[in-house]
Structure 1
Amino acid sequence: MTTPQTLPQKITKSYVDRLSTPDTGQAFIRDTELKGFAVRITSSGTKSFILEKRIDGKVKRLTLGRYPELTVEQARREAHKLLGHIATGRNPVAEKKQEALQGTTLQQAFDDFVKTRKNLKERTLYDYRRLMKVAFADWQEKAMTGISKDMISKRHNKIGSERGEAYANLAMRFLRALFNFAIAQYEDGSGKSILHENPVMRLTQTRAWYRIDRRQTVIKPHQLASWYQAVISLKHDPISSQSALVADYLLFLLFTGLRRQEAATLKWSAIDLNDRSFTLTDTKNRQPLTLPLTDFIYELLEKRKAVANSDYVFAGDGKSGYLIEPRCQVQKVIQLSGVSFTLHDLRRTFITIAESLDISAYALKRLVNHKMSNDVTAGYIVSDVERLRKPMEQVSAQLLQYFCTNGI
C-alpha cells in the first residue's frame, strides 16, 4: 500500500486505490498535472477530491466529491470546469452557498428560528411546534423561496374553513414572523436576502385577514353564586382526587386575576405565607410581579400546603409536574352551574369587578401586570405589595358578597 504523502503525484485510479489511511487527521496528495487538484484521505479511510484556488484574495478549498462515487476522470473534469468559472470572475463557493440557501426549507428555518430565539417561553414554543405540525405539515420540507403569495391566500382560506378563522389568523401570524426571521437571517454573498419579500403580507395588502372580535365574556355577578357552588362540589368528587385541587385552582384564578399558566406553574417557593404575598418571575410581559394574599386565598393556600407533595402549588400528573388545562372539571362546573366560561374568563371577571369598585387604573394595571411603559405618570408611581393589599381585598370582598347571593 502507498503511504499518503504531501509530495505532488499524478493522480490516477490505481494510485488512489493504493492509498493507505493516515493514523490521525487527514492527508492531501496534490496533482502534478492540474494545479489545485488534489485527493484527500482521512483516518477513517474516506477518500475525496478537492480543488484549491485563490478566490477574492483568499485560498478556498472546494470539495468535488467522494471516491469511488466520483471517478478520477470525472473529478478532473469538474475541477477544470470550476477553474474556468473562477477565471471568468465567478465564485463557486458563494454560488454553492447561495444554492444551499435557496433550498432552505420551512422546517430548517423554524429550527434556526428556535435556536436564535433563545428566550421563547415553553408554552409559546409548544404552540409554534403545534402550528408546524397541524397548519403546515405538508409545507415543512418545502423551500421557503417556493412558497408564493397565492399559496398563502389559499392556505389561509383552507385553515379558516377547517379549523376556524381565529386559528387561521394565528397560523399566518406565526408564518409571517418566520418569514421575517428568514429575510434577516439568510443572505447571499453580497449581503442581500434570498427572500425578496414576505408573502404573508398579501393578506394585509388585500385585507384578507379574518376579523375576529375580541372575547369580552365574563361571569356575571348574578351567575357567580351558582358557579361557586359548582366549583365547591368538585371538592367532594368521589371519582377524581384531582378535582379538589382543580377547585382551588379555579378559585385562585378568579381571586388573583392571574393568567392560567402563571397560576399553574406557581411553586411553593414563590409563596411567603408569613408575609402573605407571592411572587411571579416568569410572566407574559417578563416583568416580575409580587402580589398580596387576601384572607380568602391565604386560607386556601394554607389548607393546600398541608396536603402538598409537590414543588408546584397546583401539581399535575403529567411530565411537566404542574396542572395542565383541566377540561373535564371545567366542563363539569359548566354543567352543574349552567354558566359557560373559559379559564381566561376568570381573569376578565376579576378585572371587571376591580373596575366596578373604582380601583385606580394604576393599581389595577399592577394587579394584573399590564405594561405601563407608554404612561409617563405611571413611571413615577411605585406600587409595592402593601399598597396593593387594600384593592386586592376589595375585589375579594366583592366576590364573596356575590357568592352569598341567593343564600349560598
Structure 2
Amino acid sequence: MPGRSKTDISQNSADTARTRPEPVRVSDKLVRELQAPERGNRITYDAKLSGFGVRITAAGRRSFILNYYFKGRERRITIGSYPEWTVLAAKKRAEEFKLQIANGIDPLEVRETEFNAPTVRDLFARYDRQNLPKLAPRSAADIRSMFDKIILPRLGAKKVADVTFSDCEALHRAISVDRPVRANRVLEVVRRTFNLAITWGWIERNPAARIERNTEHKRARYLSQDEIVRLLAALDTHPQRTSCDVLKFMLLTGCRRGEALGARWDQFDPSLRIWTKPAATTKQRREHRVPVSSMVTDLLNSRPRSSEFVFASADGKALTDIKRTWAAVSAAAGLGKTRMHDLRHTFASIAASQGQSLPVIGAMLGHTQTQTTARYAHLFDDPLLAAAELVGASVFQAKANGPVADIEGHSGTR
C-alpha cells in the first residue's frame, strides 16, 4: 500500500504484517502454482505494484485485489477472478483504480453505489406507489399492465442510469411491429417515468426523449340517425337489461364506460337532473358536474335501487363487463366496426348538429382542455354551411329587389 511497500506482501486471512512473507513478482505462472491454504484465504502481494495482489481461498479460487488507503481508511477492492482476468489485465485495472484514488475518488464506493443503484423495476415500484394512485383506476391498471407485460420483461433488470436511447427505441420498435398505437402509449409511459427519475435525482437525462412516434390516424366514428334507431331497437330486445341500460346511459350522456359503470345514486341530486362525478372517477381527476336530460332521468327512475350502484350486478356490486352485450347489440343493429367509445363521439356530434358550441360540448363531456373538444369542430360544417346559404340567399335576394330608398330619399345602405 502507498508508503508501506515493505509490508505489501503475502498474507493469510488474519491479514497482519507479522504473517506476511516477502513480496514477489505476481505472474500468471505464480498464480497457477499457488497452493491453497487449509482454511480461510491467503493473499500474495506484488513487489512492484503497491497494494496489488492475488488471493487464493481454501477451495482454490483465485482472484486479484487491490489494497489502498482512502481518507485515512484502509480499503480492499476485488478486481476479478483468475483465469477470467489475466495478471496483465488485473494490473492495468489496479493502476486505473490508483489513478481514481489520486483524484479523490474511492473506487470501492463507486462500485457499491453502482451495485445499489435503482433498476427500472425499482423505478416502476416507486411510480406505482407514489403516482399511479393519483390516476383513475382504469388508467392505473392499464399502465401496470404495460409494465408487467411489456416494459419490465425487457428493461426491468437494467439500472436506470444504464438505460440508453437505443434500449428505449428498440422497445418501441418491437411493439410497433403489430401494435403501433400501443407502442406509442408505452413510449409515453416510459418517458413519463424517466422524467420522474430525473425529478428524483436518479438520472440527468431522459433516454426515451426524441424517439419518433408512429403515425396515428385518429378514428372518429359517429352513428347516423338510422343507426341510432337500429341500436335502440336492439337494446330494447336484448335480455341483459342492466347492460343495455348502461349503453343507453352512455349514448344519452356522452360519458365514458368507466364513469357509467361506477355511477352511484348518491352522485345524483334528488330530482335526478344533475350528475356530479367525483374526481376519483373521472379521467381528468377533477369533479365534473353536468346536467342530464329528462330521458336520462326516466332511465334512472326505471332502475331498481337495491344497491348503491345505479347499474349493479346480481351481487349488488358495480357491473364490470358489458363487452358481450355490446358485441351482440352492435351486430344486431348492423353497426360494423363500432366501439363503445363511439357512443361518446355520437353524443358530441348530435350536440354539434343541434347548434351547441364547442365550449358547451366540452363542458358536457368533461373536457378540461379546449384542444380535446376541437376534434369535433368539423361537425359544425353542416350548420355553418346552412348559415352560409342563408347569407348567400339574402345577398342575391337584395340584388333581385334592387336598391331600397330610405326615408330621406337616399338609396342603398349606410
Same fold judged by TM-score > 0.5?
A: yes
Aligned counterpart, 2:230? 226
Q: 2-side partners of 1:350 and 1:373: how far apart? A: 17
Aligned counterpart, 2:350? 353
1:321–1:144 CA distance, 2 compared to 1 (3 A): farther
1:230/1:336 contact within 8 Å kept: yes
Q: 1-side partners of 2:211 and 2:370: how far apart? A: 30
- Give the aligned residue type for 2:358: A
Tell me which structure has the larger Cα radius of gyration: 2
Q: 2-side partners of 1:317 and 1:181: how far apart? A: 43
State which of 122, 139, 144 in structure 1 corresponds to 2:137: 122
- Give the aligned residue type for 2:367: H
For the residue of structure 2 that corresponds to 1:203, the secondary structure is coil
- Give the aligned residue type for 1:298: T
Q: 1-side partners of 2:123 and 2:198: how far apart? A: 10
Task: Give the CA deviation at 1:232.
Answer: 1.2
Task: Give the CA deviation at 1:202.
Answer: 4.4
Task: Give the CA deviation at 1:97.
Answer: 6.4
For the residue of structure 2 that corresponds to 1:279, the secondary structure is strand
- TM-score norm. by structure 2 comes to 0.60
Q: Deviations over 1:128-161 (max 9, x none)?
A: 1100122222322222333332232332222122
Query: What aligned pairs does 1:25-40 form with structure 2 within 5 A after superposition?
Result: none
Larger CA deviation: 278-287 vs 220-229: 278-287
1:82/1:92 contact within 8 Å kept: no
1:88–1:356 CA distance, 2 compared to 1 (3 A): closer
Q: Deviations over 1:191-216 (max 9, x none)?
A: xx3x5x32222423xxxx21111121
Q: 2-side partners of 1:367 and 1:152: how far apart? A: 39
Gaps (5+ residues) in structure 2?
A: 1-12, 15-66, 78-97, 372-414
- Give the aligned residue type for 1:170: R
Q: 2-side partners of 1:280 and 1:348: how far apart? A: 19
Aligned counterpart, 1:165? 180
Residue 152 (structure 1) aligned with residue 160 (structure 2): no
Aligned counterpart, 2:324? 328
Residue 214 (structure 1) aligned with residue 213 (structure 2): no
1:167–1:132 CA distance, 2 compared to 1 (3 A): same
Q: Which runs of 4+ in 1 moved over 6 A?
A: 82-88
Q: 2-side partners of 1:201 and 1:161: how far apart? A: 20
Gaps (5+ residues) in structure 1?
A: 1-12, 15-76, 188-192, 238-242, 375-408
Q: Deviations over 1:53-79 (max 9, x none)?
A: xxxxxxxxxxxxxxxxxxxxxxxx796
Q: Deviations over 1:231-265 (max 9, x none)?
A: 1122xx2xxxxx21010000000000111111111
- Give the aligned residue type for 1:157: R
1:152/1:200 contact within 8 Å kept: yes
Query: What aligned pairs does 1:290-369 form with structure 2 within 5 A after superposition?
Result: 290-304=289-303, 306=304, 308-316=305-313, 321-340=317-336, 341-369=338-366
Q: 2-side partners of 1:93 and 1:323: how far apart? A: 57
Q: 1-side partners of 2:288 and 2:272: how far apart? A: 15
For the residue of structure 2 that corresponds to 1:272, the secondary structure is coil
2:362/2:370 contact within 8 Å kept: no
For the residue of structure 1 that corresponds to 2:134, the secondary structure is coil
Q: 2-side partners of 1:321 and 1:100: how far apart? A: 47
2:176/2:183 contact within 8 Å kept: yes
For the residue of structure 2 that corresponds to 1:199, the secondary structure is coil
Task: Give the CA deviation at 1:351.
Answer: 0.3
1:273/1:298 contact within 8 Å kept: no
- Give the aligned residue type for 2:193: L
- TM-score norm. by structure 1 comes to 0.61
- Give the aligned residue type for 1:159: I
Over aligned residue pairs, what C-alpha RMSD do you find?
A: 3.4
- Give the aligned residue type for 1:81: R
1:109–1:363 CA distance, 2 compared to 1 (3 A): same
Query: What aligned pairs does 1:108-119 form with structure 2 within 5 A after superposition?
Result: 108-117=122-131, 118-119=133-134
Q: How many residues align?
A: 283
1:257/1:368 contact within 8 Å kept: yes
2:261/2:320 contact within 8 Å kept: yes
2:268/2:275 contact within 8 Å kept: yes
1:271/1:277 contact within 8 Å kept: yes
Q: Which has the higher contact order (CA 8 A, sep 6+)?
A: 1
